[in-house]
Structure 1
Amino acid sequence: MANMMARLRQLIGTRAVQIIVGVGLAGWFLRIAAVLWYRPTCTTGAADCYTLAGDAYYHHHQADLISKGHWFINPHEYIVNGHIIDSAGDPPLYALYLAFWSRLGLDGVTDHRLVSTLAGFALIVSLGLLVRRLASDLAGIIAAVLAALHPLMWINDMMLLSEGLYQPLIVAVLWAGYAWIEKPTTKRIVILGAVISVAALTRAEALALFGFMVIPLVWWLSDVDWREKLRQIVLCGLAGLIVLSPWVIYNNLRFEDPVTLSAVPGTVMMAGSCDEAWSGEAMGFWTVCFDSRELWDELEAELPGSTLRGESRVVYDESVFDSFNRKYALEYTTENWERFGVVAVARMGRSLELFKPGHSLRLNYQVEGRWEEPSTFGLGFYYALLPLTIIGGMVFWRRGIRLTPLLSMWPTIMLASAITFGLTRYRVPIDIAMMAMSAVAISWLFEHLRPDAEPHN
């Protein structure tokens, strides 16, 4: 038995990278099969296929328009009414990624779903290699397997959601963070700032990593005076600002009101700013708060003609409409401030599947369109990783490996959830950190609980 285990460890050690890449290919084929056979593209809205809707509609058509020279305009207004209206409904990176493939002729819905599965392959391989570097060959292989199988990862890849591209970018942020820990140079802190901003150009909440990852990493650096720490933090922020500035400047040259990464934060806040989202069955989730609060008269008063039908309707730019939504979302929050703490906890609980998980599960496949079977399996997968995540964190701590990059994912997502609403797919960075820590735990358990394990303290 001992000889067999020794040969197995030697085999894994010499072939770990090849195995991780092989797992990545297997996970990629799984995603391709899901796109082509498990949930093929359709237009009927049936439960056993994929129908373009919501954010995916925006991403797909935005990419198609970009490939044809219409840079970041509202796809719905253009397709339905022929209006060219500037749009920043999401940060730009995912639409640009799809536009690249559209330019090459892969411009169909299924085409875009298939090229999005490449991000899944990148996630599997990059996470496996990262964990291998931090822990062991076996842990890296296990991390790759978890990323390949986790339904909450491959659902995003096949649904044309920006979270699909966000997943490998979060791993890139972790790589940059641990590279800086290994060698805290100016070059590496600049790279970390740049990579965080690239991730934020996919999902804006990644900006919080400057506060929750960078500052603790640098400030807890030993044998360095406060001036050097402050210099590195500033350099990291400047690097991030340089990466973000072209998009932010572009937005503020074309919109009436100030816009940073997207022109919809007020609209997102509005979706969680009404009685239905602050109490009852949907507490902590989103709902159509604009309609339930009957704000149509207020909208018409502030933006005349915006509520009319047909050709008489006046189309305002997104920033103006978003400012209206932000104003009334904050008004509701201010008027109900005494309950905000409870609602914020409920929102965070939704994202962590600790508050009304059964209700959130139903909403995932009934409202979010994430299908019942993978959503249910994904919830079970998440719960199974929870104890392993704790064990993995303890293993990291005992080995003297800093947990700051991994743990920073929790406050980053909790902040975003607390000010908007709780959503399973918002949790992507946490799920990635959990897979990394769980892989280390499984590897540790395998090494220490096998029958021929050597005695250890």
Structure 2
Amino acid sequence: MVMHKSESRQWLIWILAITLVSRLLVLIFFSDTLSFRASGYDAYATHVLQQSVYTQHSDGVPDSDLPPLYPLLLAGLYSLFGHKVIPVSVFQIALDLLTALLMYLIGKRVADAKVGLLAAMFYGIYPYLLYQNVSVNDTAVFIFLLTVSIFLTYKTRDSLHPAYAAAVGATVGLAALTKPFIMLLLPFSGFWWIKEIGFRNGIKFTLLSSLILLTVLAPWVTRNLLLHKQWVFISTNGGSNLHQGNNSCVVDYLRHGWDAQWVNCLKKLPDGLNEVEADQWHRQQAIAYLLNHPAQWPRLFGMKFLVLWNPAITPSAVPPGAQLADNTVLQYQSGVFQFARVVHIFYFTPLLILGVGGLILASRRKLCIGPPVILILLTTAVYVLFHPSTRYRSPLDPFVFIFSAYAVTQLKSLRIRQPNSLLEYSPEKNRNAKQISFPETARFEDQTP
């Protein structure tokens, strides 16, 4: 049954209202747990305002450890509303509403309006992101940019208009200033365009979007080149993240539910290295470990994959003796947050199972699922190579929910119906069945004279 536009519009309004109210309730009841210290972005934003320097250090020495988009966004919000958490949360709630709307449009493009509405609803009340996306971190912004880029990728394919391809490049460029690896999405999207709309158009749109992406990145890359006097693309934390995820003890840490960033088996960083040299040293250590221990690859990458797609929230505990800058992270071990972990398992597990089933069904039925599948596979590969956590995977969850929604809409058609009365008997469906005849007096017409 096809849903009318007016009906789907009404449902969408209700879903957006629920998305808004649920986040406002989290903001009201958990505002005391929101902390600037829970991430490193606040230090950058504060120093940008106070010293006009992009740095995490109080001495004002500039650095490039974290990508710049989210800290600069925070700085803009601080300049308008002061150094307060609530305006940041409200801004990110607004982005979440737009994301829910985009999830509806993407789900509708993949299948139909029902799938879009369910995907938007699954996203709107997803417990993990209810809290995560009102906190001071880049998750809400990154998810929004991903949904915009996937939506525009479809629009480019459907309209063949270069403006949409240019917008894809701009959006992926902004997303790369949040998570640099995501710029790899563009060439894979280009291959998908070539497959869908032909070589000439596909190449044209890929080159155009790549040019716009490089234009977006150029100011920051130039700043890094002038600052470090050598090539630094976006940030200098890639080497340390790679090293934290590829060493002799990370598997045991992940198996205990501990975060890879707390591993204690890494060699001490040599003295006298600058920021870029330290990044290169960490990368070399990680690559050396992988090259020298190929027999460990199945165990290492297998564990990281299982942790990344674990239905439970990871990390789940803090290792004994962990060196903590402050005790902010310990609040996640409180009773309220432990209860939230249980809620997450009961919410996410069935949707993950449905998502896998929906993906298989959609693939078999030749639905146009390329962009979200590319994003899921690319991001999974990156975090299996580096190191995993629920927060790193969570930007993929809305796209998993599209396939969960599709599976839900197909459950009725997949159900095997058993005849339960003679009235449901159909001789045409069983040629070997004996025909049943009724006497004239047993006809169903009204026999009243």
Partner Cα separation in structure 2 for residue 353 and residue 366 of structure 1? 20
In the alignment, what sits opposite 2:250?
A: 277
Match of 1:210 among 169, 177, 186: 186
Partner Cα separation in structure 2 for residue 432 and residue 359 of structure 1? 18
Which amino acid in 2 is paired with 1:150? Y
Match of 2:53 among 71, 83, 90: 71
Which secondary structure state, in structure 2, belongs to the residue aligned with residue 63 of structure 1? helix
In 2 relative to 1, CA 146–173 (structure 1 residues): closer, same or farther, beyond 3 Å? same
Contact 1:20–1:140 (Cα < 8 Å) also in 2: no
What does the per-residue CA deviation read over 1:327-356, in whole Å, with 9 as the maximum and x for residues that have no partner? 3333333332331343122212211118xx
Which amino acid in 2 is paired with 1:60? D
Contact 2:313–2:390 (Cα < 8 Å) also in 1: no
Partner Cα separation in structure 2 for residue 276 and residue 283 of structure 1? 13
Which secondary structure state, in structure 1, belongs to the residue aligned with residue 61 of structure 2? coil
In 2 relative to 1, CA 183–406 (structure 1 residues): closer, same or farther, beyond 3 Å? same
1:29 paired with 2:21, answer yes
Contact 1:205–1:412 (Cα < 8 Å) also in 2: no
What does the per-residue CA deviation read over 1:65-123, in whole Å, with 9 as the maximum and x for residues that have no partner? 3334523111xx21xxxx11212232222222222211112421343333332222222
Partner Cα separation in structure 2 for residue 250 and residue 417 of structure 1? 27
Tell me whether 88-97 or 163-172 shows the greater mean CA deviation. Answer: 88-97
1:288 paired with 2:262, answer yes
Structure 2's unaligned 5+ residue stretches are 320-327, 418-449
In the alignment, what sits opposite 2:391?
A: 425
Identity of aligned residues (%): 17
Match of 2:232 among 254, 259, 281: 259
How do residues 221-370 of structure 1 correspond to structure 2 at under 5 angstroms? 221=196, 224=198, 226=199, 228-279=201-252, 281-282=255-256, 285-289=259-263, 291-295=264-268, 299-300=270-271, 302-303=272-273, 316=274, 318-353=275-310, 360-362=315-317, 369=332
In 2 relative to 1, CA 329–391 (structure 1 residues): closer, same or farther, beyond 3 Å? closer
What does the per-residue CA deviation read over 1:42-68, in whole Å, with 9 as the maximum and x for residues that have no partner? xxxxxxx344435x2x22232233334
**Structure-1-length-normalised TM-score:** 0.78
Partner Cα separation in structure 1 for residue 279 and residue 374 of structure 2? 29
In 2 relative to 1, CA 63–24 (structure 1 residues): closer, same or farther, beyond 3 Å? farther
Which amino acid in 2 is paired with 1:340? W
RMSD over aligned Cα atoms: 3.2
Contact 2:307–2:314 (Cα < 8 Å) also in 1: no
Which amino acid in 1 is paired with 2:196? L
Partner Cα separation in structure 2 for residue 263 and residue 426 of structure 1? 18
1:380 paired with 2:372, answer no
In the alignment, what sits opposite 2:31?
A: 40
In 2 relative to 1, CA 446–246 (structure 1 residues): closer, same or farther, beyond 3 Å? farther
In the alignment, what sits opposite 2:85?
A: 109
Which amino acid in 2 is paired with 1:174? I
Which secondary structure state, in structure 1, belongs to the residue aligned with residue 77 of structure 2? helix
1:132 paired with 2:108, answer yes
In 2 relative to 1, CA 335–53 (structure 1 residues): closer, same or farther, beyond 3 Å? farther
1:61 paired with 2:35, answer no
Contact 2:47–2:60 (Cα < 8 Å) also in 1: no
**Structure-2-length-normalised TM-score:** 0.80
How do residues 162-181 of structure 1 correspond to structure 2 at under 5 angstroms? 162-181=138-157
Partner Cα separation in structure 1 for residue 71 and residue 278 of structure 2? 22
Match of 1:393 among 359, 363, 366: 359
What does the per-residue CA deviation read over 1:129-149, in whole Å, with 9 as the maximum and x for residues that have no partner? 332344333332222211111
In 2 relative to 1, CA 361–288 (structure 1 residues): closer, same or farther, beyond 3 Å? closer
Partner Cα separation in structure 2 for residue 367 and residue 204 of structure 1? 29
